[in-house]
Amino acid sequence: MQFHCKDKDDLVGLKQISGVGGQVDFIRGASMADHGISILAFPSTAAKGKISKIVPFLDEGAAVTTSRNDIDYVVTEYGVAHLRGKTLRKTQPFTFLFI
């Protein structure tokens, strides 16, 4: 996940490894439900802690699966960030990028 809350889950670098699937449908459906909220929960690292899933920038040309405007909360083993309605400046300390 990128620092400014864009979720990229179907690419490794510029190589597509999967389709979008239903993630966007679930995120938007949760937001549209009465009292619904969208939550992305994931471990902050991969490869036994050697690769951070939270990065400052996406690779050039990388596709974005879920925009920051659709995400209410991001949860990792380190805590929860409430992002809905926050500006880029206000999300800077809390922002993530899924990879």
**pTM greater than the 0.85 cutoff:** no
The residue-averaged pLDDT of 58-87 equals 82
The residue-averaged pLDDT of 50-54 equals 84
Map residue 31 onto helix, strand or coil.
Answer: helix
pLDDT at 77 (0 to 100): 92
CA atoms of 46 and 31, how far apart (whole Å): 28
What are the structural domains, with CATH classification, of the chain? 6-98 (3.40.1080.20)
pLDDT at 34 (0 to 100): 92
> What is the average pLDDT value for the chain, to the nearest integer?
75
Confidence category of residue 53, pLDDT binned at 50, 70, 90:
confident
CA dihedral 70, 27, 31, 82 (to 10 degrees): -60
